[in-house]
Each structure stands twice: as C-alpha cells, then as structure tokens.
Structure 1
C-alpha cells in the first residue's frame, strides 16, 4: 500500500473531526492515552480492530502471541496504570488472565470502553495539511488534528531462515498458545529472550525432549531476591544508582545463581543490564534438573536433523523460533517516521520530530514495567494537544525540545548490538528525562489522586 502525504483533502465525503484525536488500538497503551485525553478534556475517537479491550493479553484475539502459561514479566506492585494499582489478591507476577481482567476493569471504571469502536481497525493514516485523514475498516474517512498509534509491538514476527531442508515443523512463537502442542515431540526453541525462556519451560514439561538454541549467554535473574520481586531492587523503593547496582547485583547473582556454563549456557558476553534482563526462576529449575538441554546457534537443516555451529546435531520434530517481532505500523507510510532498525525513533518514544501530532505510545523496549511509563508519556501527549488551544507558549517550548533535544534514554548502558536493543530504553533514564521535560515546559507531572477526580466526572481543567 502506497500512501501519499501532505495532501490537502477537500472531499465532501470526509467527516470533519478536526478538533479531535484518533487513537488506534485498545490495548494498554491505547487505554492509557484515552484516559489522559479524558483527564485533559481532549476530544478523541478510539478504534480497535478486535472485539474487546486488552490487545495481545486476550488469547482469543487472532494473531496474538499470548500463551496459556504466560505471566507478567514485571511484578504486581511495580506494574499497572498510574493511580490504579493491581489488586493485592494477584500473585507477585500476575497471570495472563489476571492482567486481562485488570485491563478490562480499568477500561470499564473510567468509561473508556464506551468510547471504543470495536471491530473497526484503521486501514490508513495520511497527512492532510495540518491535519490527518484516518480511514477505518468500516465507515467514511475522517479528518483529525492528530493520531495516536498505539496498536502494539508483538504482532509482526521476525522469522530467520537457515539453509538446508528440514523434514519437521517450523513455527514462530506467535503461533504458540499451549504446552499441549509439544506432547510427543522433540522440540527446539530458538532464542532465549523472556518468551523463549517461558516457552522452553512449557516444552520441558510436556515434550519428549526440549532444547534451547542460543547465540549468546545471558545473565539470569531469579524472580525473587531476598524474598521480594527482583524488579523492586532495580526500579522500586530499594533502587540504587546503576553505577552501584551493577557490581552489587553481579556479585549477588554469582552467589545465588552461580556459573551458568554448568548447564551448557554460554558465558555472557556483556555486562549485567547491557541486554534486556532474563527474569526467570522456572528456567533455572529446568536447567538444573536436566529437563532442558542447551545447544549453540543453528548452522543448517539436514532432513530430520538440526545441525549446530559446533558440529553437533539433534533429531527434532518442531523448531519454534522465539526470535522477536518487528515494530510495524502498517496503516502509516513508513517514511513518515525516522527508524532505529525496525523501531520508530520518536522523541521520548512518542513525538514525531517532522510531522506534528503523529504520536506513538507503546512502541518501546524497556527494562521495567511499561504501563506506568505509558501513563507518563500519555500525560505529556494529552497536555501538549490540549495546550494547542489553551496555552500555545507551552506548545512552543515542547516543540523546540521535540526538534532539538536528544536525550540518552539508554542511560549510558553499553547495549549489545541486536535488533531487540535498537532504541532500547532504560526506565530510570526515561523517568528522569520525562521529569526534566515537564519542568522545562511547565506541563504537570502525574500526581496521586487525579484518577479520583476523573471517577467523579471532574477533569483536570474543571478542578483547578
């Protein structure tokens, strides 16, 4: 599909919504944006191609990468939307069902679901002078002042190719939904990110034999340290500056986990935190008990066998690639964005430097919980749009930063070179940068209690 840009459309069949913003996607990022638009009295329309809220967390949504055994990778008390904590009844690392239920209740409590056009995805977004033409699957094209792309990151699988002919089955992790699929099979999982580790554990429990193929070693962090979720030591009340945290945590893992080479994993070729953390206690259990065997990178396929770079081979029935996803925005011409690899390179991951009011929320790879970060950036986006009518001076200040500011959102980490780490964001650096930008522009930070005002039907502008 080729989309033209910078046209000025005067067609009479275009519905004029030029005072409103279009939000695309009703997963957590889109819901975050919608709530903030309500808070700041910004008119918006909300599109969702599926039949309900929740995005990838709804395992029944076509194309979702969700699997039955999935849990949140960040802990309950570190996760969740701002001013809307997850229930104490949830486990430390909530299940996929709990996350979906929590997300649906969030949407219902703030009346967000009442504003969503379900089963109506967006086909195209085209720049139209100072506005945007949005064409949904159902209904006429509409003209908006801005667009929030919040359609999610894990819908377009990255599938490598290896030479040779393989007699078995080859799939991507996006197709994996149940460990029952592994019964009676010899399974090779390729890739050792957090999803790859989880799926390997599914295979360890149900397959005849389970193998992991990995190019490099990783630092494995147990989900609990000193009786508390590990992410609370990194980004919670016990958080330390990175320069102190890294050597302390490295020494602690050496004592608690030991040398991962004992179980066949390669020695990590990077310092702790210079790659996305591998947080998984179950993987450690299965490695320690021999339920999973580690193999190096694939060299080629030979009939029923997979041959590895060290010359070893295994007869395999199913190769499952847990090799990540491309962050595509298929309804917008790709030239409308700058790109860092296949990541949209937006200011603060949200603001387009060249095209006003073309926002992205949720297109982020980060080493902490994302939901509160969605709210922090949605808060700024909503104020920026609101100020375009009410306080242009703040718009000018933020506009100057969008054009000229180049913060190091990786926080000085020497990240390994991989597609996953292109445009990677360190949560501590991100929060500090957002706080600085709010101070410099005069926009308001999030404060506890704003959600109560919204529940009572009072927006920020009505209560100040």
Structure 2
C-alpha cells in the first residue's frame, strides 16, 4: 500500500484520509494540535472558534455523507458539537490510530521516490502528500495610520483571537469588517455586555439571517438550481435573481438603519448573520464607514467623525499560509498571500503526487464540497476515474493565472458541482423522479451525491428525502408553476445545463 501523508486533521484532512484509505492507500495524518478537528477542535493554537459560537451553516450541510448527526441536534449546532462529530468520524473510519498529534510539519520537499516530510527534526519519505491544513490560519489586519498607537485597555486583535466576551464587558468596541465573523462577534458583544459596539466597513453588504421563512438560508441560496442559474444566465440577470431572493426574504440593510448597499449584489457582496440587522434597528450596533486614522484611543472615520474606543477587533479575513512548503514548491504554485495556482483547486501538473484539499476561499458550507474533492482526489490516485491530462491541467493553471486580479471568493454550490462532475457522482434529477424538486431546489446535502456513481449508498435516497422533507423541499414530486417557469428559462439559455453530469 502506498503511504500518503495528510497534513491537517480538520474536516478536509479527515475526509481525504477516509477516502484514500477506501481506495487502498495508507494515510498518515499529521496534526500540530493536541486534538483532531482543526478549527473545530477549539485548540487556541489553531482554532478561531469562540465559546458561544454556533455554526453559520445548517446541520444538514455541516456533516459528511456517511455519518449522520445524532437525532435531536439543533439546526445550527454549537462549535463543540461539530468538534465531537469530527472525533466520531475519525473513530468510525479508524483514522485515530493513523493520526500523529502534536506533530507539526516543518517542511515538505521533493525527494527521490516521492516527497520528504520533515517534522521534529526527522524526515520521512511518502509516495504522495495531501495538504489539508486550512486556509484560515493567518489573520489579515490591514494597515491603518496610527494603529500602533492605540492605547485602549482592551487592545487590538483579529476576530480569530476572540475567545472571551468578558474581556469586553463594559467596553467600547470597534469591530472592523462586514464578513460573517465580524457581524456575529459584534452581535455577541452587544448582547453580552459591551457598553458600545460600532461596526465599520468599506462597503455595506446585503445580509441574510440563518433562517428564511423557517428554511435554512444555505438550503435556498446554495442550491443546485442556483448554481445552474449562475453558470447559465448572464451575470446581471443572475445577480438580479439572487438579489430578489435575498431582499424579498429579509429586506435591504437601509430598512434597518444600516447604509444602503450598492444596487448590484455582486458589487455590494452578501454575508450571513442571524442577529446583526435587528440589533442595528434597535440602535444597539451603530454602523460607520471605514476608519482612516487612530491616535491613542481616538479613532477617526472617513466621514469626519471621531470617538474613543477601548478595543478594536478586525474581522478582515485571512491570508494563505503554507510555510512548510519548500521554496521550489512555492514558486511552482506561484503562491502568495491570496493566490495558489492549481488545477481545480487540487493538482499541479509539475507536482505529481502532491495535492491540496480545501484551500479555496468560499462562501457557504465547506463539508459538502470538501468531501467531494476528497473523493475525486482518491478516485484519481486510485485509478477509479481518469486522471486529468497534462494539457487539461496546464490550461487550468493558465486560467488561474489569468484570474489573479479578480475576486477569489467562490460559492459552495459551484464548488460542489465542480468536484461532483469530476468524480462522476453528480445526481441526474430525471433518474430520481420522486426527488427532482429536492435535487434542484433543496439542500446540496452530501448524501445527495451518494445516489449514483462510485460509493453509491443503498439508503441515500431515503436519507436525502428525510433531510429535504424537514424543510418542505419534497412535499410533492411535481414542480410548481413558478419552478417550471424557472426551469424553462434555464433550459432556453443553456440546453445541457439540467442534464450534464461532468465537465
């Protein structure tokens, strides 16, 4: 059996090891922390979760296809429950014994016979290596004139380091950013005793709550239909359709007292937060434009206003950090803080036997696409599906290079379909008449990709129907008039969009 080093034991590393093992490889998982789970482990050395944090992705989309959550779990579980789930997953697939905890990888380099993996002053050679160490490790704090002079008692930190709301009780806190962590932590702070909370941002995004009319938002926004529409319709038309879905469900931020976002949802952006807009409407969170100077405790905003703060938290994203890759590998990948050039986010033609899992910047649930990527990777290396040709990979790298100046964030449903098609496991709705509505308009649950193709499960249809039925996605196998109109519109724009199974 070929040995494969898997770097990281978060969701990506565990699911990669599970499928590599099923394709007759021998994975060895390297984990720097004391507990498996990556971000979900709660280990302060590598985890950005905070004590009260619950998932911002629904239960059905925060699991793998072959280990359902325990009955009775909340729709949005706690961070600890997801950490425990990953421990159960590792135990179920005998990955615990293959995991070396407290073992930080110092270097990966090409050597005769494969790849040298150096850790704790020792180097081992593996035929193959999977890098699954995560994209959200190195916090990005932008430069602000005078930031080093900030003298507030609660200090300056990134939301990655936020662990104790008591630290901010009674304090005046500025939260910089408009992504999920910024808005969720701002909400956390004002409900747990901060004296004043101000959110500053460069642009106002549209904001979705976690539930829309009782249905988890990620079941509707990240559906297969939404992915097909984004692929098939003109960008402006798809943007208008997405904006109509969002504004029709929750309204626009200015209705709550936040700034008015740009008319284009692509220019404004979209983020998720359960409590943020109602707290703005109640006056418990104030929204300001970006700040352009700090002087002691005084913060000056670009609208000319200024006020003192006791603490500043930056929810301003992350940079790619892969310090253990050799300089030669880094050059080949054209790696920098925001870019890594790979064919379908996984392979590089000049680095055979080295692969990456979960290294793209994404909105939406990670578990479904990362499982599909792991399956594709294992199937390619195991010979179950054809390996991409040299020409295909070179073209993919060229396309990566051409898009370096464009926004890098992508959506979960697009990534899930990308990997499902590559692995040959995208379900064909016409083969499942009783599930057609759910497959197109319901949640992209991981078990829906076990209906057909390699590793199909005999109970996949009943399990997927149960998950979709929980929120009304399969009340009838018949399409409504509105749904039929949507399908006809897609079909008139791109005939093959509803039937293709691979790209």
Distance 2:453 2:25 in 1: 16
Q: What's the TM-score, normalizing by structure 1? A: 0.82
**Superposition pairs of residues 79-94 of structure 1, within 5 angstroms:** 79-94=62-77
Deviation at 1:282, TM superposition (A): 0.8
RMSD: 2.9
Structure 1 equivalent of residue 386 of structure 2: 394
Structure 1: which 5+ runs fail to align? Answer: 1-17, 410-414, 452-464
**1:318 and 2:311 matched:** yes
User: Are the structure 2 counterparts of residues 320 and 376 from structure 1 closer, same or farther at C-alpha, using a change threshold of 3 Å?
Assistant: same
Which of residues 209, 212, 217 in structure 2 aligns to 1:222?
209
Distance 2:380 2:419 in 1: 13
**Superposition pairs of residues 139-288 of structure 1, within 5 angstroms:** 140-164=122-146, 165-168=149-152, 169-205=155-191, 206-236=193-223, 241-242=229-230, 243=233, 246-269=239-262, 271-272=264-265, 277-288=270-281
**1:356 and 2:352 matched:** yes
Please tell me whether the aligned partners of residues 83 and 450 of structure 1 are also in contact (alpha carbons under 8 angstroms).
Answer: no
Structure 2 equivalent of residue 306 of structure 1: 299
Deviation at 1:67, TM superposition (A): 0.7
Please tell me whether the aligned partners of residues 253 and 277 of structure 2 are also in contact (alpha carbons under 8 angstroms).
Answer: no
Structure 2 equivalent of residue 428 of structure 1: 413
User: Are the structure 2 counterparts of residues 226 and 142 from structure 1 closer, same or farther at C-alpha, using a change threshold of 3 Å?
Assistant: same
CA deviations on 1:236-286 (whole Å, 9 max, x unpaired) are: 477573447643442344344334224453332363366763111211221
Q: What's the TM-score, normalizing by structure 2? A: 0.76
Which of residues 86, 89, 93 in structure 2 aligns to 1:106?
89
Please tell me whether the aligned partners of residues 348 and 355 of structure 2 are also in contact (alpha carbons under 8 angstroms).
Answer: yes
Q: Secondary structure at the match of 1:344?
A: coil
**77-86 vs 323-332, greater mean Cα deviation:** 77-86
Distance 1:252 1:386 in 2: 42
CA deviations on 1:95-121 (whole Å, 9 max, x unpaired) are: 101111111111111111111011111
Structure 2: which 5+ runs fail to align? Answer: 426-451, 461-503
User: Are the structure 2 counterparts of residues 270 and 108 from structure 1 closer, same or farther at C-alpha, using a change threshold of 3 Å?
Assistant: farther
Distance 2:119 2:322 in 1: 14
Distance 2:321 2:123 in 1: 22
Q: Secondary structure at the match of 2:170?
A: coil
Please tell me whether the aligned partners of residues 343 and 363 of structure 1 are also in contact (alpha carbons under 8 angstroms).
Answer: no
Distance 1:110 1:275 in 2: 43
Deviation at 1:183, TM superposition (A): 0.5
Deviation at 1:406, TM superposition (A): 6.5
Distance 2:35 2:241 in 1: 44
- Over 6 Å off, 4+ runs: 406-409, 415-418
Deviation at 1:398, TM superposition (A): 4.4
Distance 2:372 2:301 in 1: 45
Please tell me whether the aligned partners of residues 183 and 276 of structure 2 are also in contact (alpha carbons under 8 angstroms).
Answer: yes
Please tell me whether the aligned partners of residues 162 and 299 of structure 1 are also in contact (alpha carbons under 8 angstroms).
Answer: yes
Please tell me whether the aligned partners of residues 72 and 96 of structure 1 are also in contact (alpha carbons under 8 angstroms).
Answer: yes
Deviation at 1:331, TM superposition (A): 0.5
Please tell me whether the aligned partners of residues 69 and 178 of structure 1 are also in contact (alpha carbons under 8 angstroms).
Answer: no
